[in-house]
Amino acid sequence: MTRFAVLVAIVALAPLVLRYPELETQILTFGLLAVAFNLLLGEMGFLSFGQATFNGAGAYAAARVLIDAHAALPLALLVGVIAGAITAAAIGALAITGRGVYGVMLTFAFNEMAYYAAFQWRDVTGGDNGLSGVPRPGIFGVSLADPTHYYYFTALVVLLAFAAVLRVNGSPFGAVLRAIRENEDRARAIGYRVRRFKVTAFAISGALSGLAGGLYAGLYRFVPLQAIDLDTSTNIVIAALLGGTGSPYGALLGAAIFTVLSNSLSHVWSHWPLIFGLVFCAVVLFFRGGLWSIAERWSRRAAHA
């Protein structure tokens, strides 16, 4: 609980310290994507390379509703959530027919399919040009036109979603996901309908990703084709791993660091992905718990001292 309180305090104070509300909003939406990914990998043990598919589905759906129906923002986000959940449930149901590596490859391949579908379906997605002119309506009479206002709105939504994830992890449902991660056959033998749990986990992860997509569409009033491409899926994987998959806090931390670094380092040295790749490989080889586990070890040592 204290950790969540610290998180709320950091999120609330961030715009007062760093005056880049748009970057900070992007950290939150990308953080939500990493947390959604981590629900699958950290809890259930499924490495998904398809998270951008759900993000893109949510972003396009929310943006369409905002553009075509001038819908209220909460309604548009809800549409994004539903679009993400349905997409993820469908892809998840297909992907889990294959165990292990096979399933990973399927999420990868389906993400590429979704990318080409979005690329060709110009009437809906704007294709290569992206979907521009997305309105950002106010909420309950309060204008969200100011970037800081939109940041606080996003912060409220993302923190609620994050609290929901903590709740899911702590629930019996979360315990079953971890049982599947540790030994799928045993979970099945005990009598759990593993398939149903897996598809549900995908749907939840997709719902969160769709929410992040909707918030992103409102942030830049634009949905780029990149929202649904494989590079975005890969970035989500990298960010979550860097932060640590042992905890949703780790995924959030990784997303924050990744967003800040990719925004700042690209100005310093254009070939920064080279160093980033080396660091990532080192994390995989030597620090599999990610930054969060290192931070936890330090805090434990500090507590003993």
**Closest approach of Cβ 271 to other proteins, in Å?**
5
Q: Name which of 120 and 132 has its Cβ closer to other proteins.
A: 120
**Closest approach of Cβ 155 to other proteins, in Å?**
30
* Cα distance between residue 36 and residue 210, in whole Å: 10
**Closest approach of Cβ 290 to other proteins, in Å?**
11
Q: Name which of 54 and 110 has its Cβ closer to other proteins.
A: 110
Q: Name which of 41 and 83 has its Cβ closer to other proteins.
A: 41
How are the residues of the chain apportioned to helix, strand and coil, as percentages rounded to the nearest 5?
Answer: 80, 0, 15
* DSSP assignment letter at 44: I
Q: Which helix (H) or strand (E) holds 132?
A: strand 131-132
Count each helix (H run) and each strand (E run) in the chain, helices first: 14, 2
**Closest approach of Cβ 113 to other proteins, in Å?**
3
Q: Name which of 133 and 277 has its Cβ closer to other proteins.
A: 277
**Closest approach of Cβ 251 to other proteins, in Å?**
14
Q: Name which of 154 and 233 has its Cβ closer to other proteins.
A: 233
3-class SS at 215? Answer: helix
* Cα distance between residue 163 and residue 133, in whole Å: 32
CA proximity to 92, closest of 48, 29, 52, 154 = 48
* Cα distance between residue 210 and residue 207, in whole Å: 5
Residues of this chain that bind other proteins (CB under 8 A): 41, 45, 47, 94, 97-98, 100-102, 104-106, 108-113, 116-117, 120, 230-231, 234, 237-238, 241, 271, 273-274, 276-278, 280-281, 284-285, 288
